[in-house]
C-alpha cells in the first residue's frame, strides 16, 4: 500500500505524501490531521525521535526516519529541545505502538496530535531514503485525513509551488523574541535536569539564538559558564550590553546565506573586538560566512546520530575519530576558506568540512552537534575547551 503511486487512495489509506515531482506515496496517518508542505529529508538515528521533532533546525522539513520502530518508547516532557515541535511531520515504516518505557507519559501518536504535527506510517522508508539519496531532498506535502479523502492535484500544486529551503531565512521564526538567562544543567537518571545550576563566578556566555537546542545551554552550564540568551536579530550593541566574556552562535534552520544578511555583520564586529566565539551547525556556517567563506546546499544533507568525524590539522587529538550527531542541509565550502581559517574536523562520510578555527582570532566552530551525545560523550570536550578559553582570556 505505502509505496503505491496511483492517484486513487488504496483501501485503508488515511495518509499520503505527495512530492513535487508528482509522486504519491500512500500510508496510514497518525498524529494530527491536516496537511503541511516542506522539504522531505531522512534521519538515520535509532533513538531520539522526540528530540528530532522538537529541534528548531528541522523547521520547514518533513523527517523520514530510517529506523523502522519509531514511537515505541512514547513521549515525555523532558526529551524535548524546544517548547514546541518544529519539524512539520514524520514518516515511519511501522505503525506506532503503545509506549513501552518507564519514562513515557503519553504515546507518540497522542503527543504529535496534541502538538499539531502529522505522522505517516506504513511507508517503505528504505525506498524513499534511496530516492532522496539519488535525486536529492524533494519538496513534498504530508497529509492526514481520517476518511482518506485527499485532493491530490491540490497537494501536487502545493508541493510544486513551495520555494524550497535555499534562500529561506527561518531563524527569525524559531528564535526567542527576548533575552533571558539560563541556569539548568545536565540530566541524570532519577534526578532529572539539574536546576538552578548557575555558575555565579563562571565566565559569561551570550548565546545568540538562531534556533537553539536546550541541551546546548545545559552543556555550557555544565562546563562552568553563566549563560544569557539573546534573539537571532540581536545587534552588536545588544550583545555587548550583556558584557559577555564570550559569544556562542547556535544551530538553526534555513539557508545560512539568508540568515547571514543580518547575522554576519554582527559576528564580524564581535570578531573585530576580539570576543571568543564558539559556533555549532548554523553558527558554524555563519562564522564561515563572516570570514569570507561560502556555503552551499547539500544534495541530501547529513542527519543522524552515527556520523564519523575526524580531527585534522594542528589540534589536540588530531587523528581521532568522533561519532557525532548531525542535522544540516547546508555546508561551508572548504575551498573558499580564507588563509586565516583552517579545517579542524572533516566528515568521514563525504569529506565535507565539519569544523574550523581562526588562526588570528579566538574563534572556532563545528558543523555537528556535540551536545546530542551520540558517542555518547565524544564531543563534550568542545564545551569545556570553550569555557577554558574564556577563563584564560579573563586571567
Q: Which active-site residues does the annotation give?
A: 281, 369, 371
225, burial (CB in 10 Å: exposed 0-12, middle 13-18, buried 19+):
buried
Contact 272, 247 (CB under 8 A): no
Strands 204-209 and 192-193: unpaired
Long-range contacts of 266-270 (CB under 8 A, 24+ apart): 266/208, 266/234, 266/235, 266/236, 266/239, 269/236, 270/236, 270/239
Signed CA dihedral, 62, 67, 70, 75: sign only? negative
* Dist CA 100 CA 318 (whole Å): 42
Contact 177, 226 (CB under 8 A): no
Q: What value does the CA radius of gyration of the chain take, rounded to a whole number of Å?
A: 21
* Dist CA 336 CA 324 (whole Å): 24
Q: How many residues does the chain have?
A: 395
Contact 82, 56 (CB under 8 A): yes
Which residue in 165, 332, 326 sits closest to 253, CA to CA? Answer: 165
Q: What are phi and psi of 21, to 5 degrees?
A: -85, 5
SS3 178: coil
* Dist CA 111 CA 250 (whole Å): 27
Q: How far apart are the first and last CA of the chain?
A: 65
* Dist CA 190 CA 126 (whole Å): 37
Measured CA angle at 358 (ends 355, 364), to 5 deg? 45
Per-residue b or e along 277-295, where b marks 16 or more CB atoms closer than 10 Å to that residue's CB? bbbbbbbbbbbbbbbebeb
Amino acid at each position: 500500500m505505502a509505496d503505491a503511486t496511483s492517484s486513487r487512495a488504496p483501501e485503508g489509506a488515511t495518509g499520503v505524501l505527495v512530492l513535487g515531482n508528482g509522486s504519491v506515496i500512500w500510508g496510514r496517518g497518525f498524529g494530527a490531521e491536516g496537511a503541511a508542505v516542506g522539504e522531505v529529508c531522512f534521519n538515520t538515528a535509532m533513538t531520539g525521535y522526540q528530540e528530532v521533532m522538537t529541534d528548531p533546525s528541522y523547521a520547514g522539513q518533513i523527517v523520514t526516519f530510517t529506523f523502522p520502530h519509531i514511537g515505541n518508547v512514547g513521549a515525555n516532557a523532558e526529551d524535548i529541545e524546544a517548547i514546541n515541535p518544529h519539524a512539520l511531520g514524520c514518516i515511519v515504516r511501522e505503525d506506532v505502538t503503545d509506549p513501552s518505557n518507564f519514562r513515557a507519559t503519553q504515546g507518540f501518536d497522542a503527543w504529535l496530535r496534541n502538538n499539531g504535527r502529522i505522522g505517516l506510517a506504513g511507508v517503505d522508508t528504505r525506498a524513499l531514503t534511496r530516492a532522496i539519496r539519488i535525486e536529492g531532498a524533494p519538496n513534498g506535502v504530508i497529509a492526514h485525513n481520517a476518511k482518506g479523502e485527499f485532493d491530490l492535484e491540490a497537494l501536487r500544486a502545493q508541493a510544486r509551488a513551495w520555494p524550497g529551503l535555499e534562500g529561506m531565512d527561518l531563524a527569525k521564526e524559531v528564535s526567542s523574541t527576548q533575552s533571558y538567562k539560563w541556569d539548568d544543567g545536565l540530566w541524570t537518571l532519577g534526578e532529572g535536569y539539574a536546576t538552578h545550576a548557575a555558575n555565579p563566578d563562571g565566565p559569561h556566555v551570550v548565546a545568540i539564538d538562531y534556533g537553539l537546542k536546550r541541551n546546548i545551554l545545559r552543556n555550557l552550564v555544565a562546563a562552568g559558564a553563566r549563560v544569557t540568551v539573546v534573539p537571532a536579530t540581536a545587534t552588536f550593541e545588544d550583545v555587548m550590553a550583556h558584557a559577555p566574556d564570550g559569544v556562542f552562535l547556535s544551530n538553526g534552520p534555513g539557508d545560512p546565506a539568508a540568515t547571514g544578511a543580518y547575522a554576519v555583520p554582527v559576528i564580524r564586529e564581535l570578531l573585530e573586538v576580539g570576543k571568543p566565539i564558539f559556533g555549532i551547525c548554523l553558527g558554524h556556517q555563519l562564522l564561515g560566512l563572516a570570514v569570507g567563506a561560502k556555503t552551499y546546499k547539500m544534495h541530501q544533507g547529513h542527519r543522524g546520530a552515527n556520523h564519523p568525524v575526524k580531527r585534522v590539522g594542528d589540534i589536540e587529538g588530531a587523528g581521532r575519530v568522533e561519532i557525532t550527531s548531525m542535522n544540516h542541509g547546508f555546508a561551508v565550502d572548504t575551498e573558499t576558506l580564507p588563509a586565516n581559517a583552517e579545517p579542524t574536523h572533516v566528515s568521514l562520510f563525504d569529506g565535507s568540512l565539519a569544523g574550523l578555527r581562526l588562526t588570528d582570532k579566538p574563534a572556532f566552530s563545528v558543523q555537528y552537534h556535540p551536545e546530542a551525545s551520540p558517542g555518547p560523550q565524544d564531543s563534550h570536550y568542545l564545551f569545556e575547551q570553550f569555557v577554558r578559553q574564556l577563563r584564560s582570556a579573563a586571567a
